[in-house]
Amino acid sequence: MEVFRRYFFAWVFALISGLLIALSFPFALTRFHRTDWAHILLAFVPITFLLSVAAVFGMAWWTTWMKKSSARAWGVAASLLCLFAPLTSMYFFHHPFGNARYKEIVFSVFGLVVYLWPDRREDENLDEMQQEDEVTH
């Protein structure tokens, strides 16, 4: 499962993060052309949301690629964000359950399985550490 995490999901999360960052720039340009302070301050809310979601996907990519211990948590968070996007779209905006949404849901659930699946090396290392503790005590 580490191969799926490292070479597939990490780069998909990097692509999503880059697209969200690229999407926030034209969105900011269209929102900040007004001179009214209330509209300018309200424009920060969706831009901040886009950039924070992009940060979650970026952290999922970076921690997975660099094999950090927090990679699983960031990967699960990014997979849940991928899962909640089509579900909220269908629930709140009543968009139909089409082929694209089905693929998004399958991709997200597969991402959750990949990031939650235990690695053999971690289990073997845990067993070795427990055996060493039993020998020393």
pLDDT at 127 over 60: no
pLDDT at 22 over 90: yes
Q: Coil, helix or strand for 45?
A: helix
Instruction: Tell me the pLDDT band of 43, cut-offs 50, 70 and 90.
Output: confident
d(CA 7, CA 13): 11
Residue type, 52: S
Block residue for tokens 């359950």? 97
pLDDT one-digit tens code per residue, 83-93: 998 888 888 88
CA neighbor of 53 nearest in space, from 15, 81, 89: 81
pLDDT at 6 over 90: no
pLDDT at site 114: 93
Total of domains in the chain: 1
pLDDT at 54 over 90: yes
Residue numbers of the domain that contains 44 = 2-136
pLDDT one-digit tens code per residue, 110-122: 999 999 988 776 5
pTM for the full model?
0.79
pLDDT one-digit tens code per residue, 96-107: 888 888 899 999
d(CA 136, CA 1): 33
d(CA 3, CA 64): 10
The sign of the dihedral angle between the CA atoms of 78, 80, 118, 132 is positive
